[in-house]
Each structure stands twice: as structure tokens, then as C-alpha cells.
Structure 1
Amino acid sequence: MTQRTSKFSFPVAALALGLSLAVLSGCKDKEAAPVAAPAPAKETAAAAPAPAAAPDATTHLRRLLASQGNPKLTVTDSPVAGVKAVAIENGPTLYVSEDGTHAFQGVLLDLRGEQPVNVADAARSAKAKEAIKALKEGEWVTFGSTSPLAHIYVFTDVSCGYCQKLHADMPKLHALGIQVRYLAFPRGGENSAAWGQMQSAWCAEDRAAALEKLFKGESLPAAAATCETPVASQHALGLDLGVTGTPTIVLADGDVLGGYLPAEELAKLAIANKGE
């Protein structure tokens, strides 16, 4: 980089010379007083060039993701010195060197306890636990026990065969003391038929009865344009938690289970991980 000379060096010297000439020219009608020679201008130290911004954990990653709409990146510390965890919005979590030059995607295990712990899963569970705690009564559709031993949240899609299979287990789950709280996650997005049907279910006076019909393959009238539902916000929440398929089950303590589980196995996990 070229060294820059301070822009103040030349003007200071010129100003000193101008002052001396002004004094001399002002004494022409009488004897001029002795004028001391102007002191040489002090040379101002050249300003140091601004250091280039040090690359961080996302510098190169942002460049590579620019063509994909610059998704939001959330950077947190990982248990490994010199390595950051970078969660890509609606995407995976990468482990990236602090200078951002290297990354890997995969399972990072914490081996310090009695059992190895998947670091990404632990972080996801903590995030999911906070997210479900923030949900309000009435945002979900409830099935199963009204006096449960445990409750679970299920991101569901009425057009999904395994979601229909899980729903068919509802009598068993009820008998086992499990309450199911459904959250909408139409996999095809806003333009899918399932999205519109789930909007209609959440707009229905009896949401549970409406969902029951949809799980059986029946259809509902289109929702009124003025009806506001949490379908979009629940779908966005699912994406934020890394949901890519349905059913995705969130236990009360935040543990996330992907896919269908038989009622007995699901009930055992729900009760064992019912949280506080």
C-alpha cells in the first residue's frame, strides 16, 4: 500500500510564509521592525494507513452465499477453541475457523461427560425449548389426554402419510396419557394445497374436528380472506428449528425427534423428557 503523506504538511508551510510576507508588506511607510525568519514548518507525521478489517468466521461464507440471497447467519461459540458454530438461516450449522477460512459440516461430539453429546443437537434442543415455551395457548390444536402425564408438540402436514399414521395412533396416545399439540408445517410452502387446507382448519370454529377431516383425506372450504391464522408463523418457526420433514416432534424439554414413532415408544420418550 502506498504511504500517504499528511495533507496538512504543505498548507502549514505555506501559511507560515504568508504571514511573514504580510508583516513585511505592512511596514512600507515606516521603518520596518526586524522580522525573525519564519520557523521551518514542522513536518507532520504521515497518517498510518487504516488496517484492513480482519476476516471473521463469516467473511468467506457470506461471499459464497451471496448468490443464495445472503441468508441470515447466527454465530455462536463452540466448545472447541478457535472454532465458531455458524447457523445458516433455513439451512445447516457449520463449524468454521475463527478466521473463516475453513469449515466442516457434520457431527461434533462433546466427550467430556459420561456419554458423548451431539453439540448441534444440544443447541437445537435448547433453542426449541425456548421457542415452544414462547407459544401461547390457542396457537396449537390439541388432541389426546386432557390430564396428561406429558405433552408433545408435533409439526404436521395433513397431506403427509406418516403424519396421518401418527394421528391414527391418537387413541393409544390418549390412553397412555400423552397430549399432542399440533403445529402447522405444510411442507410444500405457501402455494401448496396443504397450506390452504391447514389455514381453513385453523379458521374453523372446531379446529380439532376440522383437522380430523383433513387427516382422513376430506377437504374443507377455503378460509375467509379476513381470517388470520398462525400457519405462516408456525411454518417459519419450523424452518428456524431446522424442520425439513414431517412429522417432527418436539418433546417438552426441547428434544427434537424426526419422523414417525409407534405410540408406546413415543409415550415413553415424552414422559421421560417431560421437562420441568
Structure 2
Amino acid sequence: MKKKVATLLGLLIATSVFADDAKLQDQLEKMGATNIKISDSPLPNFRSVVSDQGVLQISEDGRFVIEGSVLELKDGTVSDITNRPLMAELESMKKEMIIFPAKNQKHTVTVFTDISCGYCKLLHSQMKEYNDLGITIRYLAFPRAGLRSQTARQMEAIWQAEDRNHSLHQAESGHLPAKQLTPKLIKKQYDLGIKFGIRGTPNIITSEGEVIGGYVEPKQLLQMLEK
């Protein structure tokens, strides 16, 4: 992943000026980027580029490329807006998410989870506390060992179960599914996690696209979301 991005950056800097998005996309495709989406950037005179390699900010004249965090300073606060271009894709997967809704919803977060992850189990064991605080938890699958792993096959079975919430709850409680399926449904979820730069689990995505790495206990998460 890092090698691909580094290669892409080097090639971009060496190229001539781009006149429009079509030429930019054509050049990126020639460099090996796939599934490219170009949109407005929060940075003046830049375009946001999303591909299978992640998110980049590229100047409209094609001279400058920014890889990594983009922070916005506003009203005395700092917000990480790096992954906002990915939020439309994340929301398009809503029907594929396993959702534990809060009755009096104040906040919604999306959690990339792995059923073999101890901290994911801890987070799930406190679901009632998150929900009681008004936090809706939406799950996407991210098997840390990759799509060829046993965990990935088990998670595919969970996501294809008739009652996915119950099946996931059973797995997080230590009762893993006997059935194992070739990952198909969860592949898009895993690929999206890669675009977000996720390597481990749990990883929490806020409604603004900020990534909160690792387990966060319920009250602390509420405080973070309130800010």
C-alpha cells in the first residue's frame, strides 16, 4: 500500500499540468490507480482523489500532491477532514452494516470490527452502555488477517446470516459460526477500511469521517463526539 502510494506520488510530480478532471483521471489510470473518484477538495485550488490506494489531495494544476492527514482549524477546534471524501461510499453500505441503534440517538459511529479481536469483544460487551448514552453503533467487517483468513470466512457467514445482529453477538460472545463462506459481501467493507488507512481493530469512524483508533469506553467516546 505505502509503496503503491509512493510510486503514484513520484509519477504525479513528474507529469505535466492537468487541464481538467478527465485528463487527471486518465493520467492516474495510466499509473495504475483504479476505481478513481475525483471531487471538490476542502483545500483551495486542490481536487480530492479517491482510489483503491486511498485519498490524495492534488492541486488543480497537477504540480502538488498531499498524502496523509488534512486538518482544519475552525472556531478554536481542530478537525481531521482527510477522509471526508470516503463518507459517501461508507453511507452507501448502510444496508450491509450490522446496526445496534440507540433509542434516543444523539450520535452515530461506524466501527470496523474483527471477531478475533479482544478489544472488539470488549467494545461489543458494552453495547448497552453506548446505546443508553445515545450512540448508535454500526459495524463493518475488517478481518485483520486479510480476506483469505478463517476469520474472514467466518465473518462472511455472519454477514450472510438471516439474523446478522444475533449471529455477530454470538461470535463476539465466543460462539463462532460453524459455517465458513468465501468472502464476497465483506470484501467491499474490507477494501473501504484499507482506503481509510485502517490496519487494526476496532477503528471508529465518526459521522464527520474522523478516525478514532482503538477501543474507547462509552463515556469517553460520548465526550469525544460531543466535542
Give the TM-score of the pair, scaled to structure 2: 0.69
- Residue 153 of structure 1 aligns to a residue whose secondary structure is strand
1:265 to 215, 220, 224: 220
Contact 1:154 1:247 in 2 (8 A): yes
Give the aligned length: 205
Contact 2:108/2:206 (<8 A) preserved: yes
Structure 1 distance, partners of 2:166, 2:41, is 46
Match of 2:89 in 1: 131
Residue in 1 that maps onto 2:9: none
Per the alignment, do residues 91 and 156 of structure 1 end up closer, same or farther by CA in structure 2, a change over 3 Å counting?
same
- Kindly report which structure 2 residues correspond to 1:68-107, keeping only aligned pairs within 5 A, or say none: 70-72=32-34, 79=43, 89-91=52-54, 93=56, 98-100=61-63, 103=65, 105-107=67-69
What does the per-residue CA deviation read over 1:120-146, in whole Å, with 9 as the maximum and x for residues that have no partner?
A: x32413532x23432344x22223534
Aligned partners of 1:85 and 1:95 also within 8 Å:
yes
CA contact (8 A) 1:199 1:223 kept: yes
Conservation of the 8 A alpha-carbon contact between 1:144 and 1:171: no
Q: 2-side partners of 1:161 and 1:196: how far apart?
A: 18
Residue of 76, 81, 99 corresponding to 1:115: 76
Root mean square deviation of aligned Cα: 3.6
How far 1:264 sits from its partner (Å)? 0.6
C-alpha deviation, 1:257, in angstroms: 2.1
| Structure 2 residue 147 is the aligned partner of structure 1 residue 190 | yes
Q: Check the 8 A contact 1:247/1:259 in 2, yes or no.
A: yes
Q: Secondary structure at the match of 1:131?
A: helix
- Matched residue, 1:256: 211
Asked whether 1:177 is paired with 2:124, we answer no
Q: Distance in 2 between matches of 1:74 and 1:133?
A: 16
Who is 2:7 aligned against? none
Share of identical aligned residues, percent?
Answer: 28
The answer for unaligned runs of 5 or more in structure 1 is 1-53
Q: Does the aligned pair in 2 maintain the 1:144–1:170 contact within 8 Å?
A: no
Higher strand share: 2
Distance 1:86 1:96, change over 3 A: farther
Distance 1:126 1:198, change over 3 A: same
SS in structure 2 of the partner of residue 208 of structure 1? helix
- Residue 220 of structure 1 is matched in structure 2 by 177
Give unmatched runs, 5+ long, in structure 2.
Answer: 1-14, 19-23
Mapped to 2, the partners of 1:86 and 1:132 lie a distance apart of 16
Cα distance in 2, alignment partners of residues 157 and 170 from structure 1: 16
- The equivalent residue for 1:56 is 17
Is the contact made by 1:90 and 1:242 (CA closer than 8 Å) also made in structure 2? no
Q: Name the structure 2 match of 1:7.
A: none
Residues 203 and 229, structure 1, Cα contact 8 Å, conserved in 2: no
Letter of the aligned partner of 2:218 in structure 1?
Answer: A
* TM-score, scaled relative to structure 1: 0.59
Contact kept, 8 Å, 2:154 with 2:176, in 1: the verdict is yes
Moved more, 209-218 or 160-169: 209-218
**1:222 & 1:114 partners in 2: Cα distance?**
51
Q: Say whether 1:168 aligns with 2:91.
A: no
